[in-house]
Structure 1
Amino acid sequence: MADPRSEQALNLQIHLTAITNPYEAIEEDSYAWVIEGKSCEGYSSSKTWSVLRPRAEEVSWHRSVWFKGAIPRNAFNMWIANLDRLPTKTRLANWGVNINPICDLCNTNQESRDHLFLTCDYALYIWNAVSRRLSLPGLRFQNWMELIAWTKTKNIRSPTTLRKLVAEAVIYALWKQRNNVVHNQVHIPPSVLFKDIDRELKNSITARSIKKSFKSLMARWLRRNCFFCDPS
């Protein structure tokens, strides 16, 4: 055994030399899986996972993001947006990136999360289209928490499941269009974007029509007076 280079190494060597070799032990070896000081009867993957990844307290917004029937990509994007972790221009500027923080969709205000998704003129056009489709007063969200609160309320025309589907579809579509403008310089009118949102919602509702919470959503989403129909 090499000479110890520290007092701790010396103490370890002394301890190891004092341990009886297993083959010289009188009793047979035994083992136990111990979690938080308690021996389990065999290995438990669920208990081990609970210790390695303890559960945090339930947050108030989780049902507005994660719900049965949500479109996975939209839900994931909504989760990141809810945590304000999307790389908007104001966040990039705060990180020290040399970038013009002005929103490319309206060319007026700085591109923060709440501006891009809630108060930008481009976004307001989309939310007005949603409000007309759901027979609601004009939607005006001053901040993100107002949007989350809106997804939790309901009326006879718009149950919470439909509101959450719509909110996630709008946020995803706006973020996708923002990236299309920033990276590809491709601009499309908000009316065209709403048609894409409308198509995605119809497909999503149709695919999940056997679910109890989705059975009546198509009738509630469709309206006879199409706001974006060609007047000609």
Structure 2
Amino acid sequence: MSLWNKAAVAKLLWALTHKKDKMWCRWVHTYYIKGRSLDTKWPAAMSWPLKKILSSVQMIEDVGGWVTVSRNGKFSIKKMYQCLLGDHVKVPWRRIVCNNKASPKSLFITWLALWNRLPTRDRLVAWKITTVEDCPLCTTKRESAAHLFFECDYSAAVWNTILHSLKFTRKASSFDQELAWILKATKRTGDRYKLLVMYFAECLYSIWLQRNEMVFNHKCRKPADIVPDIMFRVACRATASQHMFMLT
């Protein structure tokens, strides 16, 4: 977010240097710049936001000048952000989160699950917060993100029902295997696969909610009872053609 903010500030500097006919640009040039170079030491009375804008001159020089961050004679925040970001490795599951129309809450939980950052009991034990390791939903194995999605009998029952509703014949397997399969689905454009990605996120979210219910309130709903809720949340965000598929 800080890099994106810097890119946005750079756009304001672009306006000061390339759009001097704008009212606020004319005001800044008249009362502060007065024909001086932008790398001048500015008076202490100048407002903090304006100082930040003018001090970003060095940042533009560091990325290679305006030519590097402009497209067709216009400033590009995207190009500026990419220059500030530098080289980076794209996570393979980005399509699951970025191209998913599921609810924001479910996408956040999905994002945490993909990074293995959910506070499952295996991690809590490692942090010495608890000594209990059993999965709260099935109570048969040690809880981890890999177990919770979908090695646990509870979560497997939920996911199998979802797969059946989408007319897939496969059964729930390990989280890594399901993730690899979902990644292939994100490259497909049909309504069935768009729904699958939405269901995946909503399913993770619902399972996590029931897991927390069991941990904190010692109760949870049956798998068959939470599937309608998952379908409802997906239906609320689905397109008309996706609704038609869900009704078939």
Q: Structure 2-normalised TM-score?
A: 0.65
- Distance in 1 (CA, whole Å) between partners of 2:63 and 2:162 is 55
Question: 1:51: how far off?
Answer: 5.1
Q: Which position in structure 1 is the counterpart of 2:214?
A: 181
Unaligned runs of 5+ in 1: 1-27, 210-214, 224-232
Provide the TM-score with structure 1 as the length reference.
Answer: 0.69
Answer yes or no: is the 8 Å Cα contact 2:103–2:233 preserved in 1: no
1:221 matched to 2:223? The reply is: no
Question: Relative to structure 1, is the Cα distance of residues 194 and 30 closer, same or farther in structure 2, using a 3 angstrom cutoff?
Answer: same
Deviation at 1:184, TM superposition (A): 2.0
**1:14-25 map, 5 Å:** none
Equivalent residue, structure 2, for 1:195: 228
Q: Which residue of 1 aligns with 2:3?
A: none
1:52 positional shift: 4.6
Match of 1:81 among 100, 103, 113: 113
The equivalent residue for 2:156 is 124
Range with bigger deviation, 80-89 or 145-154: 145-154
Alignment of 1:20-99 (within 5 A): 30-32=37-39, 33-34=57-58, 35-36=61-62, 38-40=64-66, 46=77, 49-50=81-82, 52-54=84-86, 56-67=88-99, 69-99=101-131
Q: Equivalent pairs: percent with the same residue?
A: 27
The answer on whether the counterparts of 1:134 and 1:158 sit within 8 Å (CA) in structure 2 is no
Residues 1:147 and 2:152 are matched in the alignment: no
For the residue of structure 1 that corresponds to 2:178, the secondary structure is helix
Larger radius of gyration: 1
Distance between the aligned counterparts of 1:45 and 1:132, measured in 2?
A: 46
Residue pair 1:126, 1:190 contacting (<8 A) in 2 also: yes
Does residue 1:101 correspond to 2:133, yes or no?
yes
User: Does structure 1 conserve the Cα–Cα contact (< 8 Å) formed by 2:125 and 2:133?
Assistant: yes
Q: How does 1:201-216 map to 2 (within 5 A)?
A: 201-205=234-238, 209=239, 215-216=240-241
Q: Call closer, same or farther: CA 1:50–1:157 in 2, change over 3 Å.
A: closer
State the Cα distance separating 1:195 from its structure 2 match.
Answer: 1.6
Q: CA deviation at 1:131?
A: 2.2
Partners in 2 of 1:173 and 1:36 — Cα distance? 47
Worse overlay, 78-87 or 129-138: 129-138
Query: 1: distance between equivalents of 2:245 and 2:167?
Result: 10
Distance 2:112 2:80 in 1: 28
Give me the whole-angstrom Cα distance separating, in 2, the residues matched to 1:37 and 1:84.
34
Larger helix proportion, structure 1 or 2?
2
Aligned pair count reads 187
One-letter identity of the residue aligned with 1:36: D
Q: Find the counterpart in structure 2 of residue 16 from structure 1.
A: none
Q: Distance in 2 between matches of 1:170 and 1:123?
A: 8
The answer on 1:159 being equivalent to 2:192 is: yes
How far the C-alpha of 1:68 sits from its partner, in A, is 5.1
2:113 is paired with a residue of what secondary structure?
A: helix
CA RMSD across the alignment: 2.9
> Do 1:134 and 1:157's aligned partners in 2 also have CA atoms closer than 8 Å?
no
Change in CA separation of 1:139 and 1:65 when aligned onto 2, cut-off 3 Å: farther
Is the deviation greater in 82-91 or in 196-205? 196-205
Label 1:38 to 1:100 Cα distance change in 2 as closer, same or farther (>3 A): same
Unaligned runs of 5+ in 2: 1-34, 40-56, 70-74
Q: Which amino acid aligns with 2:168?
A: L
